[in-house]
Amino acid sequence: MMKKKILAAVLAAMCLLVLPFALCACGGGGGGEDKVVVGEGMKEYILEAEYTPVEDKIGGAQSGSASGYSLIMQSSAEGVSNGYFIHNIHMTDCTLEFTFNAERAGTGALYVRMISQWGNTKFTPDNFGIVLNGKEISYSGLQVKGSSDDAPEFVDKVVTQAAEIKQGENKLELIVRENTLNTYTHSTGGPAIDCVKIVTDTGISWDPLTENLDHVGKIEA
Ligand SMILES: [Ca+2]
């Protein structure tokens, strides 16, 4: 009898020891940040969302319209890369395009730095398409903890460890698909996007549209 009690106590103690590790082993599933790992010989490239073409984009606010340069939001919040991000892309087919050049073909890890204003949200290829060179990346789902545009808590989420990068021009598209994530209108909602990170051993370059920022906060005809 005593032995059984001791055994039970030992088992309980083991559970208490193991439990925190089990809870931490959330990886991409828990809404937390996926650590950007840069292995030996690899380099991290950060492509800011605010430097992609937005002039002709039609988005949508929580309830109302948003388009063009007003999709860029300035933010001094901690963790916002480069002080700006793209928001209000709550419109079916609204697409952000990241065009970059690779010096040779290779593979790369692809991260999207994002938030959701719709509470804890799971982005999947059904509600948020990620397409590289015309090919859909069938990622398993990006769990993002809810936060707001005014107090954004951006997290890097890993989409794939093996994005197929081709030599020369590559085009990465982030596509808001028809969904009901928008909790106010029960229609299409998207994430807010800070930047995209690519970790690869093939050299990448791009032409960031830094002049986008000249238009931010201005009322344009
Ligand atoms: Ca940014």
Q: What is the pLDDT of residues 87-100, one digit of tens each?
A: 999 999 999 999 99
Q: What local confidence, expressed as pLDDT, does residue 156 receive?
A: 98
CA of 20 to the centre of ligand 1 (A): 33
Would you say residue 21 lies in a domain? no
- Split at pLDDT 50, 70, 90, the class of 27 is very low
Domain that holds residue 121: 29-215
Using the CB atoms, write b or e for 83-94: b if 16+ within 10 Å: ebbbbbbbbeeb
Q: What's the structural domain count of the chain?
A: 1
How deeply is 198 buried, as exposed, middle or buried, from its count of CB atoms within 10 A (0-12, 13-18, 19+)? Answer: buried
| Average pLDDT across the chain, whole number | 90
Does 109 map to a domain?
yes
- CA 1 to centroid of ligand 1, rounded, Å: 63
Question: What distance in Å separates the CA atoms of residue 70 and residue 78, rounded to the nearest whole number?
Answer: 21
Q: What confidence tier does 64 reach under pLDDT thresholds 50, 70, 90? A: confident
Q: What percent of the chain has pLDDT over 90?
A: 81
Q: For the whole model, what pTM was predicted?
A: 0.86
Query: Measured in angstroms, how far is the CA atom of residue 69 from the centroid of ligand 1?
Result: 14
Handedness of CA 39, 45, 49, 53 (dihedral sign): negative
Q: Is the confidence at residue 119, as pLDDT, over 90?
A: yes
Q: What is the pLDDT of residue 31?
A: 81
| Residue at 97: amino acid letter | E
Over the stretch 128-183, which tens digit does the pLDDT of each residue have? 999 999 999 999 999 999 999 999 999 999 999 999 999 999 999 999 999 999 99
pLDDT value of residue 204: 98
Span from the CA of 12 to the centroid of ligand 1 (angstroms)? 46
Query: Is 198 part of a structural domain of the chain?
Result: yes
Separation of CA 189 and ligand 1 centre (Å): 20
N residues, the chain: 221
79 CA → ligand 1 middle, Å: 9
| 96, 144, 163 from 160: Cα distances, Å | 18, 16, 6
Residue 7 forms part of a structural domain: no
Q: Quote the ligand 1 centre to 74 CA distance (angstroms).
A: 9
The whole-number average pLDDT for the span 108-127 is: 98
Q: Measured in angstroms, how far is the CA atom of residue 73 from the centroid of ligand 1?
A: 9
Single-letter amino acid, residue 195: C
Q: Is 122 helix (H, G, I), strand (E, B) or coil?
A: strand
72 C-alpha to center of ligand 1: Å? 9
Distance, CA 51 to ligand 1 centroid (Å)?
8
CA of 97 to the centre of ligand 1 (A): 14
CATH number, position 162? 2.60.120.260
The alpha carbon of 18 and the centre of ligand 1 are apart by a number of angstroms equal to: 38
Q: Is residue 24 part of a domain?
A: no
pLDDT for 101 beyond 70:
yes
126 assigned to some structural domain? yes
Residue 143 lies in a domain: yes
Tell whether 22 is covered by a domain.
Answer: no
Place of tokens 């769990």: 143
Q: How far apart are CA 125 and CA 179, in angstroms?
A: 11
Distance in Å, CA 82 to ligand 1 centroid: 5
Cα separation, 94 vs 74, in Å, equals 20
Token pair for residue 30? 């828990």
pLDDT classification of 116: cutoffs 50, 70, 90: very high
Separation of alpha carbons 178 and 186, rounded Å: 11
